[in-house]
Structure 1
Amino acid sequence: MADRPFQVLVLNQIAKSGLDRLPAGAYITGKDIAQPDAVLVRSADMHAMEIPASVQAIGRAGAGTNNIPVKAMSARGVPVFNAPGANANAVKELVLAGMLMAARNLAPAQRFVQELDAAHPDLDKTVEDGKKNFAGFELAGQTLGVIGLGKIGCLVADAAIKLGMNVMGYDPEITVDAAWSLPAQVKKATSVADVLKNSLFVSIHVPLLEATRNLVGSDNIRLMKPDAVLLNFSREGVVDDKAVVQALGAQQLGWYICDFPNPAILGNPRAVALPHLGASTREAEENCAVMVADQLREFLEHGNVANAVNFPQVSMGRESNWRVAIANANVPNMLGQISTAMADAGLNIHNMVNKSRGDMAYTLVDVDSPVADGVLAKLRAIEGVLAVRYLPAQS
């Protein structure tokens, strides 16, 4: 058990249902904690922030972690947790709203009505005469292409099928869980280009990485149908907005619906930008807060790792009162050195699990007797060890 309550710095408004998962007495949460054990964050940019050396974990109450210096935290052996899928239903519903906005010309139609003169004697006639300019089409029978088949992409595909749409999907790195949840009716696309050429609607659901930056841009946007609708509720940067504006102006694209206003698209009559509403529902905010708080607590108290973007998934049930958690570079003979250091101290290893992910490896070790500070210091001195935490069982 920790000799004091865990202290968690909260950088944004986090749903109370999430903070309530960190029990009073065992945890202190607040915005003015100087030496926190962990950080809870939503949208605050942590790149310019001096993150105290006391920080053992960071939890993002959402999916993306672009606002967190993940690489720097990895070098310190600090996991960065997120909440994948917790906001999936909220984003799915907004994608459906975006498709309907484009198909039924709802944005210009609403502007038309908003500009009407309520006192005009021929208001009804003006409405009837004007509505022909906003005639749209139905979603049923149209083809939706989904790029990225994680939790959100799968939900979008399933919802579209239930609306009578044809769906094709592309994700070269689809997980086994996602593949199982993907409706059988989804046609497999062979590439991003395949999706763009054959879909009237294209919805993107990928993280922003160097490999996905400008995933849809000047090189491939010309492949889309001239009346196609491009939807980006993923991340700003996966679509080249300047290329989109050029395509809209040249009538090589019908609509661009996104969640990321920026100067390139603001004011364009064929672009609808929402103020980053994807996860802005009460339910999504609560789901994200609860999920990431549970993950932080499990790590701080037991060293278990679930949904960290820079650590492997590791979970080991307690089989002794004394546990050591070690983050280290994924290089040969680390386990041998860890085991030797413990054996030299007369510690018997009761249970051990070690997993790796890229350059990062993580080890949990349960031993049969208390671990002295000198042993922990010896473990920290091993070249390649990034962080060592001693986690005796809570009383």
Structure 2
Amino acid sequence: MAPKVLISDKISPAAVQIFKDRGVDVTYEPDLGKDKEKLAAVIGQYDGLAIRSATKATDKIIAAATNLKVIGRAGIGVDNVDIPAATAKGIIVMNTPFGNSITTAEHAIAMMFALARELPAADASTQAGKWEKNRFMGVEITAKTLGVIGCGNIGSIVAERGIGLKMKVIAFDPFLSPERAREMGVEKVELDELLARADFITLHTPLTDKTKNILSAESLAKTKKGVRIINCARGGLVDEVALRAALDSGHVAGAAFDVFVTEPATENVLFGHPNVIATPHLGASTNEAQENVALQVAEQMADYLVRGAITNAINFPSISAEEAPRLKPFVELAEKLGSFAGQLTETGLKGIRIEYEGAVADMNTRALTSAAVAGVLRPMLSDVNMVSAPAVARERGIAIEEVRREASANYESAIKLVIQTEKQSRSVTGTVFADGKPRIIEIKGISIDAEFGASMLYVTNTDQPGYIGALGSTLGQAGVNIATFNLGRTSPGGDAIAIVQVDGPIANDVVEKVKALPQVKQAKALTF
């Protein structure tokens, strides 16, 4: 029986044809996604659901989707899909992470030109019958400094276009290696230097806890007077209220925004300012981009439903159905080892080496490596998935190395992750026990035995009497309940490590109190 796919949003007719050509029974109802009740009533008939942004694949829709195996989003954002609910039901969620890149980059460049020459205001004035030639005095782009915040897939295209326009391009991106920066012809700088030097600032980073309000009131105060700011990435990267104040004072000469904190943005603090250009989230809105993502999602979904191949999955690596049961616990181990290392990485990342020892070395290590790299990158780049992670790493010049060894010294299988930053090397090793749970067995050469927990505290310290009591008292006084407490050390009085699993998140002020203990070198709250 042919698999059945429902397309519930407006997608290129060419995508419908791809499904038909691959032997998929496809139903095209482009307005169905807007009616939750009707969608819930029919979704149980289908193996696949192809959507854009109008359809909301909520937990209720997913609960009604008794036969659904895959949801395909034509585009990068999957905010309209309840991914945990889909994962719990074994539904693969796919997107097309790179189909809109050129279109979005070109929109940012167009916004930069519009800002430089005040094109929207000049057009409105001229069409109103005025001839205000002296009013619209623009600035040249040539020889100006373009500051790119986030130099990944889209940011690197913008940087390349900026260089073609004879601009001086500087970039802030913790994951951009110096080698990759030189290859691109951009100068890698820290954020404060970018703020101080850039004539134009363009943002191309996902919205995460670390990037939210990356252009805050404090950051905007560090910019050059007369700077122009472009945001075609995500609303929330810039403090809109602070930016309005900087525009009103004249410190910021202009801003061009395609994205806003609240969308649809029918009103916004930036609206109405004469030096603001606003567009309604048009970054991906070209015929070419819409066609590209539609064709990609159709091909990916058909490949999965007909052949079992998984591509660009948000919630599962690229592995076959036969491999899944054996690989699953090791995928979880690799991702958590990566997350552990990624949450501890503060400086620029140069390389990731994954060493497979024992039985795991004979498995599909490509999927495991993707999981590990995704874990490393996700604390900074929230929209990285297990499939896109290797490509994202390549864009930033991060070297990925796999090493396989036939035997492990003490375990049937072990995975060792080594992170090389601009300042240091860090390693963590783990294994999967018979219970299927991933565990940490070594950190920086120090033996330890610790399960992963939802909330953990990682502390490095000197091995001295009284330290454990002081740490326990500090956590106890803060009302933090310890679930497990695991210790390791190099030698008596030498370097030591504590991994503490606790009930609930640890507040920043508690971490600061732990850091203030005399023996502590480093303390970090981790979440898994």
Q: Sort the TM-score into its range (normalised by shorter chain).
A: 0.7 to 0.9
Deviation for aligned residue 1:286: 0.5
Q: Residue 152 of structure 1 aligns with which residue?
A: 154
- Tell me the distance in 2 between the aligned counterparts of 1:49 and 1:210: 28
1:85 aligns with 2:98: yes
| 1:6-155 equivalences in 2 (<5 Å) | 6-23=3-20, 25-31=23-29, 33-35=42-44, 36-44=46-54, 45-47=56-58, 50-51=61-62, 52-116=65-129, 127=131, 130-155=132-157
| 1:197-276 equivalences in 2 (<5 Å) | 197-260=196-259, 261=265, 262-276=267-281
SS at match of 1:173: coil
Could you tell me which amino acid in structure 1 is paired with residue 43 of structure 2? A
Do the aligned partners of 2:24 and 2:302 also contact (CA within 8 Å) in 1?
no
Deviation for aligned residue 1:143: 0.7
- Return the TM-score normalized by structure 2: 0.56
Q: Which one is further off, 272-281 or 260-269?
A: 260-269
Deviation for aligned residue 1:352: 5.8
For residues 240-288 of structure 1, give each alpha carbon's deviation from its aligned partner in whole angstroms, at most 9, with x where no partner exists. 2222112111222111111134422222222111011111111010111
Uncovered stretches (5+) of structure 2, i.e. residues with no partner: 30-38, 260-264, 334-361, 379-384, 388-434, 438-528
CA shift in 2, pair 1:30/1:233, >3 Å: same
RMSD over aligned CA atoms reads: 3.1
- Tell me the distance in 1 between the aligned counterparts of 2:193 and 2:84: 33
- Tell me the distance in 1 between the aligned counterparts of 2:83 and 2:212: 18
- Tell me the distance in 2 between the aligned counterparts of 1:181 and 1:289: 32
For residues 353-383 of structure 1, give each alpha carbon's deviation from its aligned partner in whole angstroms, at most 9, with x where no partner exists. 3634249999xxxxxxxxxxxxxxxxxxx98
Do the aligned partners of 1:279 and 1:285 also contact (CA within 8 Å) in 2?
yes
| 1:350-369 equivalences in 2 (<5 Å) | 353=364, 355-356=367-368, 357=371, 358=375
Deviation for aligned residue 1:47: 4.0
1:195 aligns with 2:194: yes
SS at match of 1:93: helix
For residues 134-189 of structure 1, give each alpha carbon's deviation from its aligned partner in whole angstroms, at most 9, with x where no partner exists. 0111111001111122221111111110110010112223499xx76985311112
Q: Residue 171 of structure 1 aligns with which residue?
A: 173
- Tell me the distance in 2 between the aligned counterparts of 1:137 and 1:7: 55
For residues 193-217 of structure 1, give each alpha carbon's deviation from its aligned partner in whole angstroms, at most 9, with x where no partner exists. 3322221111111222333222222
- Tell me the distance in 2 between the aligned counterparts of 1:196 and 1:172: 15
Deviation for aligned residue 1:40: 1.5
- Tell me the distance in 2 between the aligned counterparts of 1:34 and 1:41: 13
Q: Residue 302 of structure 1 aligns with which residue?
A: 307
Higher strand proportion: 2
- Tell me the distance in 2 between the aligned counterparts of 1:175 and 1:301: 40
SS at match of 2:20: coil
- Tell me the distance in 2 between the aligned counterparts of 1:115 and 1:361: 53
Runs of 4+ in 1 over 6 A off after TM superposition: 359-362
1:278 aligns with 2:278: no
Uncovered stretches (5+) of structure 1, i.e. residues with no partner: 117-125, 317-321, 333-350, 363-381, 385-395
SS at match of 1:219: helix
Do the aligned partners of 1:58 and 1:78 also contact (CA within 8 Å) in 2?
yes
Do the aligned partners of 1:303 and 1:325 also contact (CA within 8 Å) in 2?
no
If asked which structure has higher relative contact order (CA below 8 Å, sep 6+), I would say: 1
Deviation for aligned residue 1:308: 2.2
Could you tell me which amino acid in structure 2 is paired with residue 30 of structure 1? Y
- Tell me the distance in 2 between the aligned counterparts of 1:151 and 1:221: 25
Do the aligned partners of 1:248 and 1:270 also contact (CA within 8 Å) in 2?
yes
- Tell me the distance in 2 between the aligned counterparts of 1:23 and 1:175: 44
- Tell me the distance in 1 between the aligned counterparts of 2:108 and 2:257: 9
- Tell me the distance in 2 between the aligned counterparts of 1:110 and 1:234: 26
- Tell me the distance in 2 between the aligned counterparts of 1:11 and 1:210: 33
SS at match of 1:257: strand
- Tell me the distance in 1 between the aligned counterparts of 2:71 and 2:294: 13
Deviation for aligned residue 1:297: 2.0
- Tell me the distance in 1 between the aligned counterparts of 2:386 and 2:162: 40
